[in-house]
Amino acid sequence: MIIIPALDLHQGKCVSLTQGRLDKETVYSNEPVFIAKLWQSKGAKRLHLIDLDGAYSGAVQHWEIIKQIRNSLSIKIEFGGGVRSLKTVSELDKIGIDKIIIGTIVLSNPKEAKEIVKNFKEKIIVAVDVKENKIAIGGWKEELPIKITEFLEKVKSLGVKEIILTDIDKEGMLEGFNFDKIYSILNEIKDFNFEIILSGGITTIEDVKKVKLLESFKVKGLIIGKALYAETIKFEEAVKIFS
């Protein structure tokens, strides 16, 4: 298992949102490239890079910054936020993004999603964003009355092997990881046999230890954002838990 620091972009800055809400934003830096290099220097093996403006608008907005970050790092980058077409995935592939996150398009345009996975299968991760046990799409603005298992049936049919499971209710709250909720979801979806990255609510080193207990569910990574920036968790300490 690996610790994956998050870097969320909004209007060219490195920020953190509470439950994905732009009206609850904390700006951590005006220099996202510097922050990306900082995480690499601390030993990160992978960066979780999200274009929030892209997620909300439906099209990637921060192309130049994404390119600068890619050119500044040697570690893997997973990117999401506004990835809604094969053309966008192709462009991200050309600039060297290692893993590309899709979500909304799985439901809004399944035909295009199928083409994306057909052409870039090993690179594609699907975001499974859960809010009050419903799937949220469109930058988390829209909740759908669709069961998690129903959504994952569609993901599985595409041939995707890796998902990011995010607990939106806890995202950016610094109130702790909801172990019981995530354990219940993982137990419910275990037969899908996805490789899983978890996200949402990680606040203390004790939360990281709890995630370690979920390794048997094929949890391979943990995304941490606000807790690292607010320094309620030290990156180096979190890495030790998984080493």
What is the set of active-site residues?
A: 8, 129
Q: For the chain, how many helices (H) and strands (E)?
A: 11, 12
**CA dihedral sign of residues 117, 120, 128, 219:** positive
Given a contact cutoff of 8 angstroms between Cβ atoms, the answer to whether 168 and 136 are in contact is yes
Any residues with CB less than 8 A from the CB of 129 and at least 6 apart, and which?
A: 103, 135, 136, 137, 140, 166, 168
Degrees, nearest 5: CA angle 10-12-14: 65
Q: Dihedral sign, CA of 100, 200, 180, 132?
A: negative
Q: Which residue shows structure tokens 């890495």? A: 239
As a whole number of angstroms, the longest Cα–Cα distance in the chain is 43
Give the separation between CA 4 and CA 13, rounded to whole angstroms.
19
